[in-house]
Chain A
Amino acid sequence: MSTEMLLLDPRPPVPEPDEGPAERLDTLDGAVIALVHNGKTHGRELMEMVIEELKQRWSIAGVVHLGPPSPGYGGDADDAKPVAEEVMAAISAVGD
């Protein structure tokens, strides 16, 4: 004999994305690029190495750095918004 039981779920609904993925660039020539580091030790230096590599392949117009003051600070959309308006591409990395 079985019993019908209604079980509740604590998980939030999966949010619908506000917008689709950003438009992809055909080339980085002339692009302003954001380097987003995660605040970890040497995170910014690692991103600098990435941009140096990219500069050898494309004519990068500018670089904007963005990252939290410490790894414990998760970042803020208000900080990222002006950068998002300025740059054409962003590079981030996950690591420790």
Chain B
Amino acid sequence: MGKLANAHPGARAGFFSNALSAVEAMYDAGLTDGLPVVPPTEDLVSEMLAGGQWRAEDSLLIETTRDTEVTAYQASVCAVMAGARPEYFPVIGATLQAMSDRSFFLHAPTTSTGGATIMIVVSGPIASELGIHGKENLFGPGFRANATIGRTIRLVQMQCLSALPGALDKSTQGWPGKFSLCFTEHNEISPWEPIHQAMGYDANQSTVTIFAAESGHNILNHGASNPEPLLATFADAMAALGSFSPGRSVVVFAPEHAAKLAKLSRSEVQDFLFEHAVRDLATLKRTDKIENDPNGKDDWQGEWAAAGDTTIYPGDDEIMVHRGWSADDIMVLVGGGLAGGHSMFFPSWSRGRSSPFITQEIHK
């Protein structure tokens, strides 16, 4: 038994007749997200740790609600199990550090009935260096970095934060993005600068931005050739009652859609979406989307919100309520294949204000 196994509890030795029997042992131990995992041997975990800048005992994640810490050792075991390569580990570590930000309230989207995933947007040169994909099928299968970085984060939540379905993870339904949701932008085709540069980072820096995302909504429009009708389609989807909230949004424009917006700046697109992703107050009251909630005043903006009054008054149909609090609550990205008018809108977790975008620089 080597140094890592001696220093950390829970290592299990076993005789396995073949690789599959080791995989089955991981199932038997409950160490899986449902898919087979790579058996985390000491050599593989050591190699994973060496891919980052941390010592095994360094803390990468602090979850303050339950006062739980995740060390680089624990994260590296999960990364091996997920099938990640050691060179991905700096991205994984930065993601976990971002999740430690107190304002993110990690415990809430990890455990909530809303069933959020941790969206991971990697920006900067490391994305292409690692093969993080931002083109065809960027949210789907086929790309090791996308699949295994996000899967590592889910395994950390399940195994290190005890967020097992039905126990601490109370997702009513969940969604497949909880296996992994990691991607980058299609920068070669985007009319706008990479998102990390829009945030003030240099081109040669790399960042990860996280967001507690609920299931993505496909936004289909093959007919619009001008920005206004195209963006109106997006605003309509963002204002759908089923996902309407004061929370933030991520919109990933397909290249075909982005090309039609090329004359607009990113902030002009954000402004349009914020201005038009609205519902009238009467409709929100009629559908009980404005709940008589004493906490509501902290979420919904407007003089009417503080009262938490669900009575419909004359004029309520002319009061427009926005999705989010400002245009900055809408993150605008470009991703996907060259063909097709299919973009994606990701609403935030929860019916409330919920978790913010958190960005962390990646250091190799």
Assembly CA distance A96 to B68 (angstroms): 24
Map CB proximity to A onto B220-247 as digits: 1 under 8 Å, 0 otherwise: 0000000000000000000000000000
Chain A residue with Cβ nearest B63: A74
The reply to whether B22 and A5 contact each other, CB–CB distance below 8 Å, is yes
Q: Is the CB of B350 within 8 A of A10?
A: no
- A71 surroundings in chain B (CB, below 8 A): 108, 112, 295, 350, 352
**Are B77 and A5 in contact (CB-based, < 8 A)?**
no
- B26 interface hit (Cβ, 8 Å): yes
Shortest Cβ distance from B15 into A: residue? A2
Residues of the B chain whose Cβ atoms lie less than 8 Å from the Cβ of A9 = 8-12, 29, 31, 77
Q: Which of A3, A8, A39, A44 is B16 in contact with, Cβ under 8 Å? A: A3
- CA–CA, A44 to B29, complex, Å? 40
Residue B136 at the chain A interface, CB threshold 8 Å: no
Q: Are B15 and A7 in contact, with the CB atoms below 8 A?
A: no
- Contact flags B155-175 to A (C-beta < 8 A → 1, else 0): 110011000000000101000
Min CB distance A15 to B, Å, is 10
- The reply on A92 being an interface residue by CB < 8 A is no
A73:B4 contact, CB within 8 angstroms: no
**Contact digits for B1-36, partner A, Cβ 8 Å, 1 yes 0 no:** 110110011111111110001100110010100000
Q: In whole angstroms, what is the CA distance A7 to B39 when docked? A: 6
Contact partner, B14, options A7, A8, A73, A75, Cβ 8 Å: A7
- Please tell me if the beta carbons of B10 and A13 are within 8 angstroms of each other in the complex: yes
Contact B350 A5 (CB under 8 A): no
Q: Which A75-93 residues have C-beta < 8 A from chain B?
A: 75, 77
In the complex, which residues of chain A have a beta carbon less than 8 angstroms from the beta carbon of B215?
Answer: none
- How far does the alpha carbon of A69 sit from the alpha carbon of B11 in the complex, in Å? 41
Report how far A70 CA is from B73 CA in the complex, Å: 34
Contact with B along A35-51 (1 / 0, CB 8 A): 00001011010000000
Q: Is B180's beta carbon under 8 Å from chain A? A: no
Output the nearest chain B residue to A4 by Cβ-Cβ distance: B15
Asked if B86 is at the interface of the complex by the 8 Å CB criterion, the answer is no
Q: Is the CB of B13 within 8 A of A75?
A: no
The count of chain B contact residues (Cβ–Cβ below 8 Å) is 60
Separation of A77 and B17 alpha carbons in the complex (Å): 49
Q: Are B293 and A8 in contact (CB under 8 A)?
A: no
B301 proximity list for chain A (CB < 8 A): none
A22 at the interface (CB under 8 A from B): no
Q: Are A8's CB and B42's CB within 8 A?
A: yes
Residue pair A1, B17 in contact (C-beta under 8 Å)? yes
Query: Does B16 contact A2, Cβ atoms closer than 8 Å?
Result: yes
Q: Does A72 contact B (CB under 8 A)?
A: yes
Number of interface residues of A (CB under 8 A): 26
Complex Cα spacing A4 to B9, Å: 19
Inter-subunit contact A3/B15 (CB<8 Å): yes
Q: Looking at the complex, which one of B12, B69, B298, B352 makes contact with A7 (CB distance below 8 Å)?
A: B12
Residue of A nearest to B64 (CB): A74
Q: Is the beta-carbon distance between B16 and A12 smaller than 8 angstroms? A: no
Asked if B294 is an interface residue, CB under 8 A from chain A, the answer is yes
State the CA gap A78–B112 with chains docked (Å).
Answer: 23
Shortest C-beta distance, B285 to chain A (Å), equals: 14
Does residue B65 face the partner (Cβ distance < 8 Å to A)?
yes
Residue of A4, A5, A7, A74 most packed against chain B (CB within 10 A): A7
The answer to whether residues A72 and B13 also contact, given A7-B39, A8-B77, A10-B160 and a CB cut-off of 8 A, is no
Residues of B within 8 A of A (CB): 1-2, 4-5, 8-17, 21-22, 25-26, 29, 31, 39-42, 45, 64-69, 73-75, 77-78, 81, 105, 107-108, 112-113, 155-156, 159-160, 170, 172, 291-295, 298-299, 350, 352-355
> Top 8 closest A-B pairs, CB basis?
A9-B10, A74-B65, A10-B77, A10-B74, A2-B15, A74-B107, A2-B17, A72-B108
Beyond A8-B11, A9-B9, A11-B159: 17 further Cβ-contacts under 8 Å?
A3-B16, A5-B22, A7-B26, A7-B39, A9-B29, A9-B31, A10-B10, A10-B78, A10-B81, A10-B155, A13-B10, A41-B293, A41-B295, A71-B350, A71-B352, A72-B105, A74-B66
